[in-house]
Amino acid sequence: MSPVTPSSAVLHGHRISYRSAGSGSVVLLLHGITSSATTWDDVLPWLAERHTVLAPDLLGHGESAKPRTDYSLGAHANGLRDLLAVLGHERVTVVGHSLGGGIAMQLAYQYPELCERLVLVSSGGLGREVHALLRAAALPGSEWVLPLLCRAGLQDAVAGAARFLARLGMRAGHDVEEVWRGYTSLADPACREAFVHTLRAVVEPDGQRVCAVDRLYLTALMPTLIVWGDRDPMIPVEHGRSAHRAMPGSRLEIFDGAGHLPHRDEPWRFVRLLLDFIASTEPARVDAAGWRSLIRR
């Protein structure tokens, strides 16, 4: 396996932490809300056997800075464009999980010239439905309630977590582990503030507020892979099926028995699938004229 190197860069005065490994064409891995680049640990070294792999902690997450700033999808896409420029990467296959999927679509929309392929893993931004936990956290005043919940939960973090989350439809395993790790991170005030701003940019009490469905036709110029677990409790697998129907030429892979993190539930299958997708597709090369023509059409 290729060794994974933790590194950091400074963008506009803020530290961005990232992991990288390998050589060759670039694969950019984007994690979900309250998560970090560590969610890709089971797949990153193996992908790096054939590609340069870059997995940043998004601004407001993990070891990256958590400033008072804009945490919208567009702002994240701008930051990733700048990170790629600093690191000298001109084009990438962008892979986004959950919130990262919404950011990946935004990056492909704002900067199509940067994106060779688009891979959406249990992606946000493809429909209204989302788990009640996230809708509740988007309620007005949640920033005042979360500190109390975190303090109470941290007193007995392990004992009640699996039972509580199981009642909300999540199986013991990676779904519970990831959600619980994200929940406990909110005890930190800076993490909590960044979480609330990030969440409210994409979710409201009635469901997801940002939807890319009206622009999915634009992926006609870009090879697209959609990956979902058929037991995803956070975002319904039907979002993936609907997106596949709306994205010309896209490929859909549903992992039977997997939850919200198919790349962790079945890492080997995910690695083989992604490597095959990259090897079997030609990278998109979108210029301004082609983009204008597609939008007008």
Q: How far apart are CA 214 and CA 266, in angstroms?
A: 31
Supply the DSSP symbol for 294. Answer: H
| 21 close to 159: Cβ distance less than 8 angstroms | no
From the candidates 2, 98, 122, 123, give the one annotated as an active-site residue.
Answer: 98
From the candidates 42, 57, 175, 232, give the one annotated as an active-site residue.
Answer: 232
Grouping H, G, I as helix, E, B as strand and the rest as coil, residue 128 is coil
Would you call 232 a catalytic residue per the annotation?
yes
Supply the DSSP symbol for 17. Answer: E
Tokens 């083989």 sit at which residue? 272
Would you call 256 a catalytic residue per the annotation?
no
Would you call 293 a catalytic residue per the annotation?
no
Q: How far apart are CA 36 and CA 52, in angstroms?
A: 19
From the candidates 97, 239, 244, 260, give the one annotated as an active-site residue.
Answer: 260
Residues paired with 224 in a beta bridge? 118
| 54 close to 114: Cβ distance less than 8 angstroms | no
Q: How far apart are CA 93 and CA 119, in angstroms?
A: 8
Our measurement of the distance from residue 251's CA atom to the centroid of its chain's CA atoms, rounded to an integer in Å, reads 18
Tokens 């788990």 sit at which residue? 131
| 180 close to 144: Cβ distance less than 8 angstroms | no
- Edge-first strand order for the sheet with 5-11 is 5-11, 14-21, 52-56, 26-30, 92-97, 115-121, 224-229, 251-255
Return the active site residues.
98, 232, 260
